[in-house]
Amino acid sequence: MINYIVRRSLYGVLILIGVNLATFFLFFTVNTPDDMARLNIGGKRVTPELIAKWKVERGYDKPLYWNEAKAGSDKLTDTIFWERSVSLFKLDFGRADSESAGDIGTEVARRMWVSIQLALPIFILQIISSVSFALLLVMFRHTALDLAGVVFCVVMLSISALFYIIVGQYLFSRVLRLVPISGYTGGLDLLRFLVLPVILSALSRLGTEARLYRAMFLEEIGKDYVRTARAKGLAETAVLFRHVLRNAMIPIITSAGGYLPYVFMGSLVFESFFGIPGLGAYVIEAITKQDFAVVRTMVFVGSLLYIASYILIDIAYTWVDPRVRLS
Amino acid sequence: MPKFVLLWTDAAIWLLVLALVAYVWLASRRTNLRGTWRKVFADPAAMASAVVLVACLVVTLVDSVHFRSKLPPAPGTTAGVVAYDTRTRSLLDAALASLAESRETTYSRPLAYESFTKETVEQGGRPSRVAPRLLHGGAHLTDPAAQWGGDIARLVAVGVAWGVLGAAVAFIAVAAGVARRQRSGLGTAAGTIWRGEIALPWRVALATAAVLALAIGIAASLARAYHVFGTDVTGNDVLYQTLKSIRTAFVIGSLATLATLPLAVVLGIMAGYFKGWVDEVIQYVYTVLSSIPNILLIAACVLMVQVFIDKHPELFETGLERADLKLFLLCAVLGLTGWAGLCRLLRAETLKLRELEYVQAAQAFGVGAGRVMTRHVFPNVAHLMLIVTVLDFSSLILYEAVLSYVGVGVDPSMNSFGGMINLARNEMSRDPLVWWPFTAAFVFMVTLVLAANLFADGVRDAFDPRSRTFRPRVLKPAAAAKP
């Protein structure tokens, strides 16, 4: 198992190198720092001096890969590639591109906790609600209730998450005045701010996931061990909860695990709609301010989390299913 | 003669239509494909949604013929020099010119005759707050408070009449088609359809078409004198905007999925077929790609596209062309970033197929690798391609809204559901509430996405061998008993 994790981690590093090269190519070779400066300064104010100043401030005036002017190892390290790409592996993200913003690393570390506060309840509620809804439908399979449930799911998944947010905010915050529309604070008061985004987020994905899980359960239910369980006289609920649910856990973990990176990254849309200063909102801010350094860093952080969560999923397999051996 | 402009997405859409026609022709000649597609359309939900999708496709196509109209020669210019309008317009714009040009000053409620916001005017020496009359909505009414209800009722009645007429024409056309096929009289065929005694659910399709025809008839009739869905903050007709948004949604849904196909198919089949280092490299590439959270990757690419467009102003002449180039590049970005999932599926399927006897027989006969892949492997994974394409269509339409919200979607000047929702966000927090742009976007978007989802489900059920279940064809006993 240790062996397996080490091997997967090494492959993960290989992938991170690939991600890094790809983003570097995208951000510095397809377009030069001059273009970025022009877009960032914007409008008619662009002059060569301003561009040069912008580049010096952010360290983009250095050569891309090889600095002839320096001596020794500085030839390699005093370049954009080294400072902006290789140093990401040391989790040294450098400063943001826009005027006021500071160091990206401290910002990421601070915002990550905010994101987790929102995303972890979402993740848990999502799994519980969609699995139990799917189980309910499976319990009443091939009845009118099942059909109605599936139709409900299809309608739910045809509605954009943005509609849920806008209607939810309107209904619960403006009409019923149950919770504040948006915002963030410390302490216990935080609950009041988090409850609406958590519920709406779980609701917006309920249709997609419940339908998927229902299909998974139905596939399991046709198997021989279920018939055996029924033949030995188990009640239907016992069959469903003790046998089907446990066996369907593997595909469920795979599909739910895909959302694990977002537990740390935060949901872009929900954070920004509800004014929660997490990583997702950070990304949206960076995009509107056209802050390339932040977007670049978040790509790296995102894939780091993705790789980490896939290793976690593999470990979860062994825990759920004793037959799985990692080797 | 106006100057026709072929936008990037126009060209892609028309190529797509050509490909669709070619596919229909191919499918109608292959017994197995024809049978499977019959199974798709035997599903009532799929049939009904196909009608909705065709209606949206028609709107898209009409909106995909662009031109710049000739300006009347201005005095003082030399003869022979023809000046063209700086605006690029589409056939849909021309057809809806009355809607597009009937601009009010600001918000107005659906079917209103006066403005939503009140203005202070002098009345008899004293200032008073009144809602001013609209420039176009209900402008023909002399005494709006008394005439309004009657006028609306009259227009709705006219619209219903047109809708019924349209539905009747559709019914007769389908009945005539069925009659030719069954070699029976028109009346008999109409009866068979009406009672649902026919293999394909034509009754459901016609019912959907009838609902659509009624909706279109009423909307068209009312739109001649009113703003059916009201107007937005700058006074533009909301109905017009939603109709224009259909094309954006359709373009994103179809072009972005199609853009994923070449890479996914070629690389997926190659990885599965060659195995070894080719497989390793391709797996590495798509793992790298899929390890970046999708929205971030798209955001990064779109930011770069913006820089690119900024740098190359020579690629477009008008604002619309610029927005269109952006949309086209957005589809390309979505395609380049979204092929990993399908590629993984195709690789796994090819790995299975290459061990089957018929592939090994082909190899034993000395057929080259390229030929085996195109002639023997590809046709047997094509169903996966089709299923994923139709499933992705609806999710991309939903995705567009999120991307536009994040700020990496379509150009703000281009009408799209995402843009409308974005504006609705502020409108929903106004007091009194401005609900109609949001509702209009919601109704149209949900209809389109729901139809796409139901159709995709039908396609998947018919084409996916795993989900193929035994479904007895239900024919009424009366029909079965007939000789």
Q: Which residues pair with B127 in a beta bridge?
A: B122
Q: How far apart are CA A326 and CA A13, in angstroms?
A: 19
pLDDT tens per residue across span B52-105: 999 999 999 988 888 888 777 766 666 667 777 777 788 888 888 777 777 777
CB A264 within 8 A of CB A112: yes
Query: Hey, is the C-beta of A88 within 8 angstroms of any chain B C-beta?
Result: no
CB B408 within 8 A of CB A290: no
Residue A293 is encoded by which pair of tokens?
């350094």
Q: How far apart are CA A223 and CA A232, in angstroms?
A: 15
Ranges assigned E (strand) in A149-283 = none
Residue A279 is encoded by which pair of tokens?
């990583």
Give the pTM. 0.87
Nearest-CB residue to B405 (from A269, A290, A299): A269
Cβ atoms within 10 Å, residue B308: 16
CB B29 within 8 A of CB B188: no
Q: Which residues of A304-316 are buried (b: 16+ CB within 10 A; e: fewer)?
A: bbbbbbbbebbbb
| Residue found under tokens 């062996």 | A3
- Cβ distance B304 to A31 less than 8 Å, yes or no, reads yes
A317 or A29: whose pLDDT is higher? A317
Q: How far apart are CA B187 and CA B185, in angstroms?
A: 5
Distance from CA of A289 to the nearest CA of B (A): 10
Query: Hey, is the C-beta of B339 within 8 angstroms of any chain A C-beta?
Result: no
Asked whether residue B474 carries a pLDDT value surpassing 60, the answer given is: no
pLDDT at B40: 87
| Residue found under tokens 């109709």 | B243
B432 or A300: whose pLDDT is higher? A300
- Calculate mean pLDDT across residues B238-255: 90
Residues of B whose CB is below 8 A from A296: 300
pLDDT at B265: 93
Angle at B257 between CA B255 and CA B259, to 5 degrees: 65
Distance from CA of B284 to the nearest CA of A (A): 7
- Cβ distance B438 to A166 less than 8 Å, yes or no, reads yes
Residues of B whose CB is below 8 A from A290: 303, 306
Query: Hey, is the C-beta of B304 within 8 angstroms of any chain A C-beta?
Result: yes
| Residue found under tokens 């593999």 | A314
Cα B351 from chain centroid (whole Å): 35
Residues of A whose CB is below 8 A from B306: 39, 290
Chain B residue closest to A290 (CA)?
B303
Least-confidence region, from A147-161, A254-268, B6-20, B450-464: A254-268
20-49 in A: which are within 8 Å (CB) of B?
22-23, 26-27, 30-31, 35-36, 38-39
| Band of pLDDT at residue B451, cut at 50, 70 and 90 | very high
Q: Which amino acid does the sequence have at B168?
A: A
Asked whether residue B482 carries a pLDDT value surpassing 50, the answer given is: no
Q: At what angle do helices B276-291 and A2-24 cross, to 10 degrees?
A: 70
Q: Which residues pair with B67 in a beta bridge?
A: B4, B89
pLDDT at B54: 92
117-156 in A: which are within 8 Å (CB) of B?
154-155
CA A165 vs CA A34, B278, B407: distances in Å: 39, 45, 17
Q: How far apart are CA B151 and CA A169, in angstroms?
A: 37
Three-class DSSP category at A172: helix
- Cβ distance A35 to B310 less than 8 Å, yes or no, reads yes
pLDDT at B271: 92
Distance from CA of B469 to the nearest CA of A (A): 12
Query: Hey, is the C-beta of B450 within 8 angstroms of any chain A C-beta?
Result: yes
Residue A198 is encoded by which pair of tokens?
């958590």
Q: How far apart are CA B388 and CA B376, in angstroms?
A: 20
Residue B201 is encoded by which pair of tokens?
């659910």
Secondary structure letter of residue B74 according to DSSP: P
Query: Hey, is the C-beta of B369 within 8 angstroms of any chain A C-beta?
Result: no
DSSP assignment string, B369-415: HHHIIIIIIHHHHHHHHHHHHHHHHHHHHHHHHHHHHHT-SS-TTS-
pLDDT at B161: 92
For residue A264, count CB atoms less than 10 angstroms from its CB and return exposed for 0-12, middle for 13-18, buried for 19 or more: buried
Q: Which residues pair with B68 in a beta bridge?
A: B3
Pair type for strands B66-68 and B3-5: antiparallel
Three-class DSSP category at B144: helix
CB B456 within 8 A of CB B52: no
Query: ipTM score here?
Result: 0.85
| Band of pLDDT at residue A327, cut at 50, 70 and 90 | low
Nearest-CB residue to B445 (from A160, A174, A290): A160
Residue B344 is encoded by which pair of tokens?
């993984």
237-266 in A: which are within 8 Å (CB) of B?
261-262, 265
Substitution target in B291, B305, B420, B425 with the highest count of A β-carbons within 10 Å is: B291
Query: Hey, is the C-beta of B446 within 8 angstroms of any chain A C-beta?
Result: yes
Taking the CA atoms of B415, B418, B421 and B426 in sequence, report the sign of the dihedral they define.
negative
Q: What is the mean pLDDT of chain A?
A: 82
Q: How far apart are CA B352 and CA B337, in angstroms?
A: 26
Asked whether residue B400 carries a pLDDT value surpassing 70, the answer given is: yes
| Band of pLDDT at residue B452, cut at 50, 70 and 90 | very high
Residues of A whose CB is below 8 A from B408: 287
- Range(s) of chain A covered by CATH 1.10.3720.10: 104-320
pLDDT tens per residue across span A222-257: 889 999 999 999 988 888 888 888 888 888 888 888
Give which of A230, A257, A318, A228 is closest to A123, Cα–Cα. Answer: A257
DSSP assignment string, B218-269: HHHHHHTTS-TT-B-TTS-BHHHHHHHHHHHHHHHHHHHHHHHHHHHHHHHH
Query: Hey, is the C-beta of A162 within 8 angstroms of any chain B C-beta?
Result: yes
Chain B residue closest to A21 (CA)?
B288
Cβ atoms within 10 Å, residue B283: 16
Residues of A whose CB is below 8 A from B287: 15
User: Residue B473 region, left (φ>0) first, then alpha (ψ -120 to 50), else beta?
Assistant: beta
For residue A60, count CB atoms less than 10 angstroms from its CB and return exposed for 0-12, middle for 13-18, buried for 19 or more: buried
Residues of B whose CB is below 8 A from A287: 299, 303, 406-408
Most confident range (mean pLDDT) of A9-13, A45-49, B186-190, B468-472 is A9-13
Residues of A whose CB is below 8 A from B296: 283, 295, 298-299, 302
Asked whether residue B476 carries a pLDDT value surpassing 50, the answer given is: no
pLDDT tens per residue across span A12-37: 888 888 888 888 887 777 667 777 77
Secondary structure letter of residue B117 according to DSSP: S
CB B48 within 8 A of CB B208: yes
Q: How far apart are CA B416 and CA B401, in angstroms?
A: 8
Nearest-CB residue to A22 (from B288, B407, B428): B288
pLDDT at B473: 46
Phi and psi at B114, nearest 5°, equal: -130, 160
Cα B221 from chain centroid (whole Å): 24
| Band of pLDDT at residue B470, cut at 50, 70 and 90 | very low
Q: How far apart are CA A113 and CA B384, in angstroms?
A: 41
CATH of domain A104-320: 1.10.3720.10
B354 or A33: whose pLDDT is higher? B354
Proportion of chain B above pLDDT 70, given as a percent? 94
- Cβ distance B308 to A31 less than 8 Å, yes or no, reads yes
CB A35 within 8 A of CB B311: yes
Q: How far apart are CA A286 and CA A101, in angstroms?
A: 10
pLDDT at B268: 93
Residues of B whose CB is below 8 A from A205: none
- Calculate mean pLDDT across residues A97-124: 81
Residues of B whose CB is below 8 A from A166: 421, 424-425, 428, 438
Substitution target in B288, B403, B408, B433 with the highest count of A β-carbons within 10 Å is: B288
Residue A107 is encoded by which pair of tokens?
């910002």
Rg of chain B, C-alpha, whole Å: 27
Least-confidence region, from A23-37, B419-433, B454-468: A23-37
A284 or B197: whose pLDDT is higher? A284
Secondary structure letter of residue B339 according to DSSP: -
| Band of pLDDT at residue A323, cut at 50, 70 and 90 | confident
pLDDT tens per residue across span B301-338: 887 888 788 777 777 777 788 888 888 989 998 988 88
- Cβ distance B300 to A261 less than 8 Å, yes or no, reads no
Distance from CA of A160 to the nearest CA of B (A): 6
**Which residues does A174 contact at the CB level (< 8 Å), separation at least 6?**
A181, B429
Cβ atoms within 10 Å, residue B294: 15
CB B343 within 8 A of CB B264: yes
Asked whether residue B450 carries a pLDDT value surpassing 90, the answer given is: yes
Asked whether residue B448 carries a pLDDT value surpassing 90, the answer given is: yes
Phi and psi at B371, nearest 5°, equal: -70, -40
Q: How far apart are CA A164 and CA A156, in angstroms?
A: 10
| Band of pLDDT at residue B483, cut at 50, 70 and 90 | very low
